[in-house]
């Protein structure tokens, strides 16, 4: 709540030292140790197919997490992503009933995602409303529309070639979703770290007024970020619907929480202005490994959510506690 002025150090750390002390390195160490612990606690862990299954725990969520990371870095948030999945999936399900084929379904999934993102974007950037309330509202609205359409029913009967997106394997144990995840990670890495657009995202997150006066079109950049988040939710909706081969209005319920957790765990500041894509990639693996490892030990899902919640608070609290203790 209070503004801090960063002190300028007398001597910069060497690049190697900085890299070793970075959040991403710490997170990577956590991922490796979870991996090692898991391989000792369960005999089923070190199996190529099991590990491949493990990636389904995070690929769809991580696709959205990359777009969400950009949005959070720019100082906004989108809590409606899971509801966009529900609405896009419902639209695809309805399209199946009138006999639309796989290419049409993909177009509908992506189109609904973009439309929902645009709706959020217009409310936030044109009308100047706070994104947290807007997206809490659209979170109810989008999923609410799914409930109106579906009620307690479900859509099934997706075409067989549609199954490839969520169930297909490109090579041996490498699933299509994993390849797509890697591809999207690279794309977002380039967008955020190698383009002017990426610099604008950081600038907006650090000082929106300053960014506006520096000639950055703040509203337009934010609108594009909402579009991207919607689009990625559409992509995730296609993968998830294909994997489950059915649509209920409760699909992907509560995912927004896990996606925000993934982004924050990845070292993105919830206050905006800082964060890196590699951090989010590692965080995706950490969360996938934790849920998968606990699952192998027969820990129920709701107990896993305690771990996820504690991780979310812990990763932010520990560095602050450490700073307090040192000073």
Residue ranges in the chain assigned as alpha helix (H): 15-20, 23-41, 48-55, 59-73, 81-97, 102-121, 131-150, 164-167, 176-194, 196-206, 208-213, 218-244, 255-265, 277-296, 301-326
Map tokens 């899902």 to a residue.
301
Q: Does 225 bind another protein (CB under 8 A)?
A: no
Q: Which of 100, 136, 174, 191 binds another protein (CB under 8 A)?
A: 136
What is the rounded CA–CA span in Å between residue 263 and residue 116? 21
Measured from the CB of residue 111, what is the shortest distance to another protein in angstroms?
20
148 binds another protein, rule: CB under 8 A: yes
Of how many residues is the chain composed? Answer: 327
Region binding another protein by CB under 8 A among candidate stretches 194-202, 208-216, 233-241, 283-291: 208-216
How far, in Å, CA of 265 to CA of 259, rounded? 10
Which of 266, 306, 271 has its CA nearest to residue 62?
266
Q: Which stretch binds another protein (CB under 8 A): 30-38, 120-128, 174-182, 186-194?
A: 120-128
Query: CB of residue 20 vs another protein: minimum separation in angstroms?
Result: 25
Residue 302 within binding range of another protein, rule CB under 8 A: yes
The least distance separating another protein from the CB of residue 280, rounded to whole angstroms, comes to 16
CB 177 within 8 A of CB 56: yes
Partners of 175 in the β-ladder: 169
Quick one: which of 42, 57, 102, 261 contacts another protein (CB under 8 A)? 261
Window contacting another protein (CB under 8 A); options: 13-21, 109-117, 195-203, 210-218: 210-218
Specify whether the backbone of 118 is left (phi greater than 0), alpha (psi in -120 to 50) or beta.
alpha
Residues 77 to 116 in contact with another protein, rule: CB under 8 A = 77
Q: Does 257 bind another protein (CB under 8 A)?
A: yes
Closest among 204, 228, 202 to 215, alpha carbons compared: 204
Mark residues 52-71: x for contact with another protein by CB under 8 A, - for none: --------------------
Residues contributing to the site for another protein (CB under 8 A): 1-2, 75, 77, 123, 125, 127-130, 132-134, 136-145, 147-148, 151-152, 208-209, 212-213, 218-219, 222, 249, 257, 260-261, 264, 270-271, 300, 302-303, 305-306, 308-310, 312-313, 316-317, 320-321, 324
């Amino acid at each position: 709540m209070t503004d801090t002025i960063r002190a300028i150090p007398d001597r910069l750390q060497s690049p190697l030292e900085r890299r070793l002390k970075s959040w991403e390195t710490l997170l990577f160490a956590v991922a490796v140790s979870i991996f090692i612990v898991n391989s000792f606690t369960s005999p089923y862990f070190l199996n190529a197919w099991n590990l491949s299954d493990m990636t389904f725990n995070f690929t769809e969520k991580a696709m959205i997490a990359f777009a969400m990371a950009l949005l959070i870095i720019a100082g906004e948030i989108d809590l409606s992503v899971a509801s966009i999945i529900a609405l896009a999936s419902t639209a695809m399900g309805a399209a199946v009933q009138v006999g639309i084929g796989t290419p049409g379904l993909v177009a509908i999934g992506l189109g609904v995602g973009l439309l929902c993102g645009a709706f959020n974007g217009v409310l936030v950037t044109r009308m100047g409303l706070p994104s947290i309330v807007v997206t809490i509202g659209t979170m109810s609205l989008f999923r609410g529309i799914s409930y109106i359409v579906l009620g307690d029913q479900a859509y099934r009967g997706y075409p067989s070639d549609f199954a490839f997106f969520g169930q297909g394997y490109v090579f041996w144990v490498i699933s299509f979703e994993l390849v797509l995840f890697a591809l999207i990670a690279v794309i977002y890495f380039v967008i955020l770290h190698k383009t002017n657009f990426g610099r604008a995202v950081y600038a907006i997150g650090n000082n929106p007024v300053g960014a506006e006066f520096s000639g950055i079109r703040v509203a337009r950049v934010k609108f594009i970020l909402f579009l991207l988040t919607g689009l990625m939710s559409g992509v995730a909706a296609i993968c998830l619907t294909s994997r489950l081969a059915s649509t209920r209005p409760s699909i992907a319920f509560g995912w927004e929480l896990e996606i925000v957790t993934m982004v924050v765990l990845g070292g993105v500041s919830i206050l905006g202005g800082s964060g890196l894509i590699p951090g989010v990639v590692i965080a995706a693996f950490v969360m996938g490994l934790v849920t998968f490892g606990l699952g192998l030990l027969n820990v129920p899902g709701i107990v896993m959510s305690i771990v996820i919640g504690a991780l979310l608070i812990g990763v932010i609290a520990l560095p602050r506690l450490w700073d307090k203790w040192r000073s």
